[in-house]
Structure 1
């Protein structure tokens, strides 16, 4: 009876995992009528779609979004690929039309390079200022090497005798 119960429990766990597995996978919103007949172009379109932001959802790629605008963007990508555009030409076309916000990973050139480098630069600047401040405090708080004067030594001896 015990072994039968264990087998049922393990079967129930396997069944739950099998049912939950599809839920953990990303849901792709690409409809069958959007797909291209050429598998090479379709793969290129899917790769491009993964890097483009849905401007409605803002945190999903157009490949994952069910928004109408995402569908239109997927169709534009496929139209441009069928017309013979390269991947960079398709991206340039969409950036020209919607701005760089449409890219999930912003480009690292021009003014964006300044933005990408300003964070680490400011961190290094703050680290340098902090080190100078800490070293300045350490040298200001360091004890002098002169030691105690004769009066101070006498007073210390007197205090130690009393206790």
Structure 2
């Protein structure tokens, strides 16, 4: 298994979206109340445009875990399977606040046959290395309140709750 940074080329990002990002979000649709993908757009093309723009920013990174590939394989053409990913972004603290920059884990996903292996830990370690290299002394993430398995896993890795996100529906929308 190799963990590689996802390059910002269209073919590779499309492969990532189709093999990892879309299955991850389809799974979230089944698990998370109020989460759904749009029905009236070409999801892959829209997400491809969005991801390519994100790749242009300095703080954003994606790493993919590939099973059955060689380390030097072109990810767009690899015969290996994309089995997991982690995305991170740097949350820079404005100078008016007394807090450090943070590396945010935006998303992490492991395909079912690879859950319970060391892959999630390896992806988190990749994010920690990036945090250290970027001068971010903190690593943050959000997890669904009902996802007890994920919460327990993150707590074992040293994550602690620090805030609660609350959502309210606005009448008339």
Larger radius of gyration: 1
The TM-score range, normalised by the shorter chain, is under 0.3
Identify which of structures 1 and 2 has the higher relative contact order when contacts are C-alpha pairs closer than 8 Å and 6+ apart. 2
* Larger strand fraction of residues: 2
* Larger helix fraction of residues: 1
TM-score between the two structures when normalised by the length of structure 1 = 0.25
